Amino acid sequence: MTWSAHLLRGNDDLDAKPFEPVTSGGVVLVDTTGESGVTSQTVLRKLASLDTTLGIGIMEGAVLREWNGSAWVDDPVSLSFGPMLVREISCVEHPDDPNMWRVEFTASGFGPVLNADGSTIGSPQISVGVVSRPRMTPAYRADVTPPDDVISGDAFTTAPWVTGTDIGGKTVDINTSPVSIPIDQTLVTITWVVRWPFQDWDSDWVGPDGAALTIGLDAIADDYVGGRNTVAFMGFPIGSLLMESVEFQPLHHEFKTAVMTLIYDEWHHAQQMPLVNPQFNIPTTPNATTAMSHTTTVLWNQTFWSPWKLESANPFFGTAEWDYLTTVFV
């Protein structure tokens, strides 16, 4: 006797919520009349074998497949993060017929549902948090303006920062000792959802489009974290944003909650330092009113030279997320 299966319901119902899994499910009846020694494990193995005579393929961690008479066709429900995958399978012998097995499965994914043209039905799953706070920093001068960063070949040049020219501003040091002053700093956290590689029916690690996908964690650390922006981003000028961290936390199976932390700094993350002569002395200028001596020449000391640049094609944000970040924040 040939095995047969009938899909009673397959991903007909969808439960879609922002920042939560989109879930669905289905029921399959498997007829094993004429077979002997069949168990629930036997049924699950058969469903995972892509047997064309059975006509349906179900396996935990894979997309639901149906045989159309000439080829296997993936379940048509697709989201902005790619296909939904089967997450749970329950196989139960029919109580009135030992040759019939009821197989229930649950599938899930993430992201808005797609229109026929590939556009999304719903908003992108991204949020931005902002905390404005002061950074207390040692200073010789207050009310100073840092120089504009100059970019050459996607890298910062030293010319604006290494000049030997006094930075100006109001003198605040006490007998050449800096004092702590507050300067503007803003913490920006961007939270969104990403999908890491998952295995297809051929056991290949692929991305939402079915192509091979790998995650370059070392590139994120080397090319982004700890660097400053070489192009304006979210309304912040060149050189003012330090990428402090990028986190990927477990969310739902291969889906991750990604959190990028950016820090805007009024001084472009630079410090002040006194000009010291070859004799290792700090030239001073007396103040007759206060009877103190102040540092004559103060310079900038920039220590963050690593560059990063985010454009429409980037390793973090999709088209919808990028549109949100570049349209809402100016």
How many folded domains does the chain comprise? 2
75, 95, 115 — which closes off a domain? 115
Per-residue model confidence (pLDDT) at position 117:
82
For residue 121, being part of any structural domain is answered with no
Per-residue model confidence (pLDDT) at position 80:
87
Ramachandran bin of 82, using left for φ above 0, alpha for ψ from -120 to 50, beta for the remaining angles: left
Low-confidence ranges of the chain (pLDDT < 50): none
Per-residue model confidence (pLDDT) at position 184:
97
Residues 131 and 218 both lie in one domain? yes
115, 139, 166 — which closes off a domain? 115
Among 166, 170, 168, CA closest to 142: 170
Residues 306 and 192 both lie in one domain? yes
Distance from C-alpha of 58 to C-alpha of 91, rounded to nearest angstrom: 11
For residue 224, being part of any structural domain is answered with yes
Residues 57 and 144 both lie in one domain? no
Residues 239 and 284 both lie in one domain? yes
Per-residue model confidence (pLDDT) at position 12:
61
Among 281, 276, 280, 325, CA closest to 299: 276
For residue 273, being part of any structural domain is answered with yes
Distance from C-alpha of 44 to C-alpha of 54, rounded to nearest angstrom: 12
Q: Which domain holds residue 142?
A: 126-328
Distance from C-alpha of 11 to C-alpha of 157, rounded to nearest angstrom: 56
Per residue in 282-318, pLDDT (tens digit) is 999 999 999 999 999 999 999 999 999 999 999 999 9
For residue 136, being part of any structural domain is answered with yes
Per-residue model confidence (pLDDT) at position 121:
83
Per-residue model confidence (pLDDT) at position 10:
58
Cα 99 to chain centroid distance, Å, stands at 48
Per-residue model confidence (pLDDT) at position 11:
55
Burial of 226 (0-12, 13-18, 19+ CB in 10 A): middle
Per residue in 7-31, pLDDT (tens digit) is 776 556 677 778 889 988 889 999 9
